C-alpha cells in the first residue's frame, strides 16, 4: 500500500468510526484505539503535505483562528416560523392552508430543537460552507468552527446530489453543558446560563481549537436544492440520515390534527427525558409540492407552524413603569422588574405593549406580577397577584406627553398604541429613523452602528439620513472611541451604500407600514421614486397586497416637503432611487394585470425562477385558483384536484413552454 493509499484508508476508517460514535451512538472501537489511529494519520499528513485534504478527520481538533467572520448570502432564505400555543391555533392554521391547496394533507411532526440555526452547503459530497442564520437573508461564515463538530459529516455516504444545502440546529446536550459548568465552578468561574446561548456563543469563538473542546452536536432537518427527487418532508429526513447526517428519529407522519396533538401531548411529558433541550414541536405539511403551492408570507412559510410548549413562569415585583419612544413615534410601556431567573436567564424588563394591555390586566407599580418568556425568548407579564397588592395602590395613569420631548401624545382610531407626533424634533425618532436606514436589511452601512448614529446626532453632525452623505473623516474623528481608521471605514461604508438597489433604499426610507416585501412590490411596479411620489391612492392600491392604509401612508410620506427635500438630496448624493438599467432589461409589462397559479414540477426552469419571470414581467403569482386566475402554469405531477378546479372555473391551463413563449 502506498503512503497516499494508507492516508486515504485511515481517513475513511476514522470517518466511519466518527459516524458510528457521534451519529449512531454505537461505537465499535475504544477511545484509545481511535486516538492511536488519529495520531498515525496526523503524523503521515505532516510528513506528506502534498496529500492534504481540507475535510480530513484530523482537522476536527481545530487550530485555525478567525478574526472576522465573513458575511455570506443564503442561496435559499432561512425563514422564521409562526408560533402556536393551543389546539385552536393549530385548527386555525389547518383551516387557512386547506383553503389554499387541494387534496388530502398529511403532516410531519418534529421536535423543535433549542439551539443555533445553521445552513450547511455540500458539493460533490464534501462540506464547503457553514453559515449562521443571521437575518435570514445572510449570515456569518463559521465553516472552520463547524468542522470541529463531530456529528457534522465532512464527507457524505451513499447516493447524494452533486450540490445542496441542509439546515439544522447546533445544540449543546445537557450532559455536556452540565460538565462545562462543573469545570467552571471548580476554577471559580461564573457558570453558563443555558445551553442554547452557550452553543450560539461557542460558534463565534475566534479560535477553532477552543470550539473543538466544547461538546457541540448538530441535528439536521431540512434539505434545500434543485431537482433533488425528494417528494415529502419525511423522505427529506430519511435521505439526510442515509447520507450520514444526524437526524433524530422522533419525527413521524400524522394524518390529521388529532394525531399531531397526540404527538405534542406525548413529547410535552417525555421531552424531559431527552438529552437536549426542546421547546416545542414543528408541524409541517408533508408533501413538498403542497409546500411549494402554499409558499411564504413575508416572514414565515405558510406550510409550517411551531407549537410551543407552555412557557416557564415566575413571579416578581414590578418596581416601575417607564415608556420608550420608537422610530415611528410609537410609545411602548416597559415594566422594570425586580430581577428574577426565568428559563436560564435573568429577567429585569418586560414589554407591557400598550395602554389597553395595562388596563386589561390592571397592572400597577408595586404589584407582584407573573412573568413568562413567550416562546422562552421575550419576557411578558401574564397577570397580577391581587392578594399581594400593596394597600393604597392606585391604578396606572398612562402618560399624556412624550417622555423625550414633552409633546402631547395622540392615539388614532383603531390604533392600539399612542404616538408622539413630533417626528422631526423628538430625539429617539430622529436617531431611530437613521438607525433603520443603515440597518442590515436596508442600506447595510459597514462601519456605522446604532451607537455611532446616536453620537452623530447628539453632536449635531446629522439630523436625517441624507446628512450621512456629507460627512467627512475630519468631522467624525473627534467622536468618542473613533480613530482615523474607523472614521475612514465609516465614510467608505456610506459611499458604498450608494450601490444598494432601489427596493432596499425604499425600505430604508422608513415609510410607515412599508416593510421589505411591500417595498419590493412598489419598486417593481413604479420603477422609480419619482413615479412613486406622483402615484394616487387608486394607482397605489392596484399593486398586489397594497391596501388603503399603506397607500395613505405612502402619500402622507411624500406629501411632506421635508421628506421630498431629503429625497432630492439623496438623488444628488448618488443613492439608487430607481431600478437599474440591468434590472429594467429583465422587466416588462407583458403580463400586466394577469394572475398566475404555478403547479407541478418543471424541466427548463425551477418553480422559483418561473415565479420570478411572472413578477419581472408584471404578473401576479397566486397560491390558489379562483375565478380571477388568468392562467395555471402546469408542470409534471400537477394535482388532479387543481386541474379539475381550473377546468370547472374555465381557467386556461398552459404548459411550461407556452408560458416561456408568452414572456419571450
- Quick one: which of 178, 187, 118 has its CA closest to 151? 118
The CA–CA distances, whole Å, from 400 to 284, 289, 357, 418 equal 46, 53, 16, 9
Distance CA 531, CA 519 (A): 14
The reply to whether 39 belongs to the active site is no
Q: What angle do CA 340, 345, 351 make, to 5 degrees?
A: 70
**Contact assessment for residue 382 and residue 373, using Cβ atoms and an 8 Å cutoff:** no
What 3-state class would DSSP assign to 239? Answer: helix
Dihedral sign for Cα 467, 468, 472, 475, please.
positive
What is the torsional sign of CA 275, 278, 281, 285? negative
Give which of 78, 85, 75, 93 is closest to 285, Cα–Cα: 93
Are 529 and 578 within 8 A, CB to CB? yes
Count of other CB atoms within 10 angstroms of residue 502: 24
Rounded to whole angstroms, how far apart are CA atoms 565 and 557?
12
Residues forming a β-bridge with 139: 72
State the sign of the Cα–Cα–Cα–Cα dihedral 604, 609, 611, 614: negative
CA distance 241 to 181: 32
Q: How many Cβ atoms sit within 10 Å of the Cβ of residue 558? A: 18
**Three-state DSSP class for residue 389:** coil
H/E stretch holding 355 reads helix 355-361
CA dist list (Å): 358 to 10, 339, 377, 395, 397: 66, 20, 21, 9, 9
Of these residues, 67, 87, 112, 441, which one is catalytic? 112
Q: Are 166 and 237 in contact (CB under 8 A)?
A: no
Cβ contacts of 489-492, under 8 Å, gap ≥ 24: 489/446, 489/447, 490/445, 490/447, 490/448, 490/452, 492/446, 492/447
Cα distance between residue 558 and residue 360, in whole Å:
38
Please list the active-site residues. Answer: 112
Amino acid at each position: 500500500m502506498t503512503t497516499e493509499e494508507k492516508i486515504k484508508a485511515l481517513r475513511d476508517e476514522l470517518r466511519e468510526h466518527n459516524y458510528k460514535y457521534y451519529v449512531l451512538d454505537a461505537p465499535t472501537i475504544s477511545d484509545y484505539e481511535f486516538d492511536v489511529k488519529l495520531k498515525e494519520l496526523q503524523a503521515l499528513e505532516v510528513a506528506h503535505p502534498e496529500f492534504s485534504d481540507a475535510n480530513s478527520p484530523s482537522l476536527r481538533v481545530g487550530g485555525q483562528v478567525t478574526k472576522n467572520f465573513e458575511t455570506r448570502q443564503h442561496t435559499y432564505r432561512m425563514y422564521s416560523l409562526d408560533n402556536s400555543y393551543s389546539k385552536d391555533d393549530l385548527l386555525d392554521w389547518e383551516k387557512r392552508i386547506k383553503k389554499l391547496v387541494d387534496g388530502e394533507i398529511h403532516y410531519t411532526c418534529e421536535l423543535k430543537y433549542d439551539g443555533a440555526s445553521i445552513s450547511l452547503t455540500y458539493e460533490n459530497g464534501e462540506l464547503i460552507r457553514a453559515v449562521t442564520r443571521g437575518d435570514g437573508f445572510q449570515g456569518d461564515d463559521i465553516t472552520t468552527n463547524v468542522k470541529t463538530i463531530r456529528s457534522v459529516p465532512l464527507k457524505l455516504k451513499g447516493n447524494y446530489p452533486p450540490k445542496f444545502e441542509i439546515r439544522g440546529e447546533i445544540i449543546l446536550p445537557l450532559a455536556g453543558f452540565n460538565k462545562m459548568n462543573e469545570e467552571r465552578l471548580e476554577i471559580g468561574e461564573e457558570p453558563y446560563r443555558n445551553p442554547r446561548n452557550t452553543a450560539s456563543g461557542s460558534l463565534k469563538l475566534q479560535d477553532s481549537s477552543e470550539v473543538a473542546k466544547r461538546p457541540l452536536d448538530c441535528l439536521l432537518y431540512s434539505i434545500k436544492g434543485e431537482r433533488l427527487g425528494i417528494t415529502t418532508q419525511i423522505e427529506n429526513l430519511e435521505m439526510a440520515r442515509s447520507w450520514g447526517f444526524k437526524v433524530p428519529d422522533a419525527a413521524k407522519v400524522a394524518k390529521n390534527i388529532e394525531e399531531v396533538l397526540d404527538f405534542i401531548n406525548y413529547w410535552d411529558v417525555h421531552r424531559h427525558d431527552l438529552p437536549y433541550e426542546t421547546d416545542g414541536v414543528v408541524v409541517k405539511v408533508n408533501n413538498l409540492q403542497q409546500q411549494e403551492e402554499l409558499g411564504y408570507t413575508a416572514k414565515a412559510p405558510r406550510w409550517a407552524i411551531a407549537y410551543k410548549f407552555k412557557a416557564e413562569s415566575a413571579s416578581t415585583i414590578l418596581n416601575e413603569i417607564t415608556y420608550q419612544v420608537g422610530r415611528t413615534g410609537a410609545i411602548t410601556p416597559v415594566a422594570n422588574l425586580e430581577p428574577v431567573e426565568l428559563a436560564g436567564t435573568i429577567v429585569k424588563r418586560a414589554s407591557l405593549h400598550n395602554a389597553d394591555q395595562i388596563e386589561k390586566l390592571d397592572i400597577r407599580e408595586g404589584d407582584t406580577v407573573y412573568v413568562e418568556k413567550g416562546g422562552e425568548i421575550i419576557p411578558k407579564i401574564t397577570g397580577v397577584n391581587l392578594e399581594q397588592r400593596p394597600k393604597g395602590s392606585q391604578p396606572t395613569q398612562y402618560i399624556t406627553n412624550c417622555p423625550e420631548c414633552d409633546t402631547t401624545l395622540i392615539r388614532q382610531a383603531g390604533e392600539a398604541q399612542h404616538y408622539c407626533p413630533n417626528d422631526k424634533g423628538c430625539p429617539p425618532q430622529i436617531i431611530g429613523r437613521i438607525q433603520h436606514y443603515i440597518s442590515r436589511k436596508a442600506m447595510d452601512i459597514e462601519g456605522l452602528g446604532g451607537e455611532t448614529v446616536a453620537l452623530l446626532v447628539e453632536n449635531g453632525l446629522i439630523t436625517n439620513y441624507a446628512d450621512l452623505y456629507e460627512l467627512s473623516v475630519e468631522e467624525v474623528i473627534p467622536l468618542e472611541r473613533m480613530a482615523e481608521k474607523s472614521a475612514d471605514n465609516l465614510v467608505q461604508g456610506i459611499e458604498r451604500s450608494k450601490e444598494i438597489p432601489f427596493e432596499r433604499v425604499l425600505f430604508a426610507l422608513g415609510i410607515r407600514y412599508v416593510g421589505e416585501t411591500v417595498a419590493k412590490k412598489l419598486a417593481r411596479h413604479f420603477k422609480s421614486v419619482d413615479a412613486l411620489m406622483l402615484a394616487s391612492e387608486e394607482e397605489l392600491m392596484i399593486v398586489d397586497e397594497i391596501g388603503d392604509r399603506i397607500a395613505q401612508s405612502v402619500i402622507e410620506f411624500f406629501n411632506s416637503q421635508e421628506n421630498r427635500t431629503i429625497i432630492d438630496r439623496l438623488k444628488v448624493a448618488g443613492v439608487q432611487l430607481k431600478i437599474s438599467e440591468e434590472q429594467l432589461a429583465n422587466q416588462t409589462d407583458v403580463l400586466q394585470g394577469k394572475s398566475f397559479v404555478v403547479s407541478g414540477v418543471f424541466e427548463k426552469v425551477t418553480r422559483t425562477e418561473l415565479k420570478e419571470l411572472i413578477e419581472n414581467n408584471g404578473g401576479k403569482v397566486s397560491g390558489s385558483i379562483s375565478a380571477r386566475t388568468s392562467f395555471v402554469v402546469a408542470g409534471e405531477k400537477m394535482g388532479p384536484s387543481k386541474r379539475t378546479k381550473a377546468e370547472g372555473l374555465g381557467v386556461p391551463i398552459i404548459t411550461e413552454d407556452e408560458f416561456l413563449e408568452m414572456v419571450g
